[in-house]
């Protein structure tokens, strides 16, 4: 029996039709526009990675040689906004193409409701084998984000003493094991969607050698980079001395370099298995990190660019090399873009757009309206929303009604609020935000009361 026949026999009718359609497309090797169609998709989320600490986004330190090489052979989106400054809602957007409130994913106890369609469900129904390896409590199966994945592995980030450690090698090892599954056939005869989530850049900042020595300068202070210490400093609103702050940034940069080396091993694994030329690779993040640019450390509470400015790198068959797009984009765009590139456009409702016109001669809206939500705000009470149109960005605290307006073109560091000075623009953006807030979610919030273990795990990771 041929591999194709065996796949069809063990598939549902919907999946069997998807496999047949995908096989016919692969026989021609090209899509409707004559471009190569990627056979496989590798979606990588690097937790807590801010774009401006990558060399391919202009950072002066060599933190990201393997990501830089990927960027050189693909498309870099230079202006990407996270849909939330913390992990759970941003990943809900990444995997559904919906804003967090529309997906009913706003607080740690929320779980994705069954009516919400995911990218994995969409691709499974269209002939893909869908697998995931994740490394965050927020992304464990309790979140419901495993919907549609045939295999979904959670590699726990905690040691028995509560410390958070680098687990990237375990993530990569498991990913390569999944690619070696004999059920997939030689060189990936079955189409694969593999989602990987790496947590290493998140605190605890505990870089290992040799990466620590390459990035961390001599330091005799007390900062150790652990999450409990950092959350304590955040709670006290303690201003760090310049040497302490530099050390904290050094630790963060070393974590990026260490994770980048692991990505190099992953990419080499694709090459060794003959999968690299047929794989669409998408690398992004859920949010950034703050180093007291505006008085805070860590993340989760606001929408400064260091918190919501994230990378998005796309490379693979049919994509140009070295293209950079400054058109505003969002995490909600990843799912519809991936689906379009593998010629499986999303049929379900979503908030994002397909970004492929950036290199296909089309037009993307430069004055596009984008939103971000921080409806769960650790240690800084008050629901907050952000709306952005072009360079103009409005932040609203929904409880105390405080408004801040920034012109990112003239003031990229967000030092001066123009809310009173440009009252007309403030009013226009506020009305857009109110309209977004009034939108009903596709499904009502589905929450599970956190147990004792849940509360303890949230405390460990700073929530």
- pLDDT (tens digit, 0 to 9) for every residue of the chain, 463 residues total? 333 333 333 344 444 444 444 444 444 455 545 788 999 999 999 999 999 999 999 999 999 999 999 999 999 999 999 999 999 999 999 999 999 989 888 777 788 888 899 999 999 999 999 999 999 888 999 899 999 999 999 998 877 666 778 899 999 999 999 999 877 655 445 899 999 999 999 999 999 999 999 999 999 999 999 988 888 888 888 899 999 999 999 999 999 999 999 999 999 999 999 999 999 999 999 999 999 999 888 888 899 999 999 999 999 999 999 999 999 999 999 999 999 999 999 987 899 999 999 999 888 888 899 999 986 655 455 578 999 999 999 999 877 788 999 999 999 999 999 999 999 999 999 999 999 988 867 665 555 555 556 555 555 565 6
For residues 418 and 140, give the distance between their C-alpha atoms in angstroms, rounded to a whole number.
41
Task: Kindly state whether residue 435 falls inside one of the protein's structural domains.
Answer: no
Asked if residue 409 is part of any domain, the answer here is: no
**CA atoms of 316 and 311, how far apart (whole Å):** 17
User: For residue 297, is it within any domain?
Assistant: yes
Please indicate, yes or no, if residue 366 is contained in any of the structural domains: yes
Torsion over CA of 191, 41, 355 and 31, rounded to 10 degrees? -30
- CA dist., res. 18 & res. 84, Å (int): 33
Instruction: Give domain status of residue 152, yes or no.
Output: yes
d(CA 290, CA 79): 18
Residue 272 lies in a domain: yes
Buried b (16+ CB within 10 A) or exposed e, 246-276: bbbbbbbbbbbbbbbbbbbebbebbeebebb
d(CA 117, CA 24): 26
* Cβ contacts of 9 within 8 Å, gap of 6 or more: 1
The answer to whether residue 249 is domain-embedded is yes
Check residue 459 and give its pLDDT.
58
Q: What's the confidence (pLDDT) of residue 453?
A: 60
Q: Which two tokens stand for residue 250?
A: 């050094």
Domain count along the chain: 1
Residue 392 belongs to a domain? no
CATH number of the structural domain spanning residue 203: 3.40.720.10
pLDDT given at position 211: 96
118 lies in which domain range?
Answer: 31-370
């Amino acid at each position: 029996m041929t591999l194709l026949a065996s796949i069809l026999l063990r598939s549902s009718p919907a999946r069997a039709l998807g496999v047949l359609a995908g096989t016919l497309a692969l026989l021609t090797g090209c899509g409707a526009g004559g471009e190569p169609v990627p056979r496989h998709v590798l979606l990588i989320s690097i937790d807590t990675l801010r774009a401006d600490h990558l060399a391919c986004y202009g950072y002066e330190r060599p933190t990201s040689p393997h990501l830089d090489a990927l960027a050189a052979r693909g498309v870099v989106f230079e202006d990407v906004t996270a849909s939330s400054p913390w992990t759970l809602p941003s990943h809900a957007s990444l995997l559904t193409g919906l804003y967090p409130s529309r997906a009913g994913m706003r607080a740690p106890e929320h779980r994705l409701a069954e009516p919400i369609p995911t990218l994995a469900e969409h691709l499974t129904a269209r002939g893909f084998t869908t697998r995931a390896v994740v490394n965050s409590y927020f992304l464990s199966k309790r979140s419901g984000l495993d919907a549609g994945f045939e295999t979904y592995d959670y590699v726990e980030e905690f040691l028995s003493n509560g410390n958070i450690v680098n687990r990237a090698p375990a993530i990569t090892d498991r990913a390569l094991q999944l690619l070696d599954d004999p059920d997939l056939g030689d060189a990936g005869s079955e189409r694969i969607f593999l989602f990987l989530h790496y947590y290493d850049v998140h605190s605890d900042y505990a870089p290992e050698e040799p990466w620590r020595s390459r990035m961390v300068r001599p330091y005799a202070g007390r900062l150790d980079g652990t999450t409990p210490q950092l959350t304590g400093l955040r709670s006290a609103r303690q201003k760090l001395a310049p040497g302490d702050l530099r050390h904290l940034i050094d630790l963060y940069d070393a974590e990026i370099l260490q994770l980048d080396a692991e990505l190099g091993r992953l990419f080499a694994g694709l090459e060794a298995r003959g999968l690299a030329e047929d794989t669409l690779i998408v690398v992004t993040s859920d949010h950034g990190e703050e180093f007291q640019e505006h008085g805070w450390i860590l993340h989760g509470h606001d929408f400064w660019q260091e918190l919501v400015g994230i990378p998005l790198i796309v490379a693979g068959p049919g994509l140009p090399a070295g293209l950079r797009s400054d058109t505003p984009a969002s995490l909600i765009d990843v799912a519809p873009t991936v689906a379009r590139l593998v010629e499986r456009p999303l049929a379900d409702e979503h908030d994002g757009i397909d970004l492929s016109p950036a290199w296909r001669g089309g037009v993307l809206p430069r004055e596009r309206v984008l939103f971000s939500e921080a409806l769960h705000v650790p240690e800084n009470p008050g629901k907050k929303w952000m709306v952005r149109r072009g360079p103009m960005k409005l932040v609203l605290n929904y409880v105390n009604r405080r408004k801040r307006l920034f012109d990112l073109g003239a003031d990229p560091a967000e030092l001066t609020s123009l809310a009173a000075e440009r009252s007309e623009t403030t009013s226009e953006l506020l009305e857009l935000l109110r309209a977004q807030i009034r939108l009903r979610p596709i499904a009502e919030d589905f929450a599970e009361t956190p147990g004792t273990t849940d509360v303890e795990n949230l405390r460990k990771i700073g929530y």
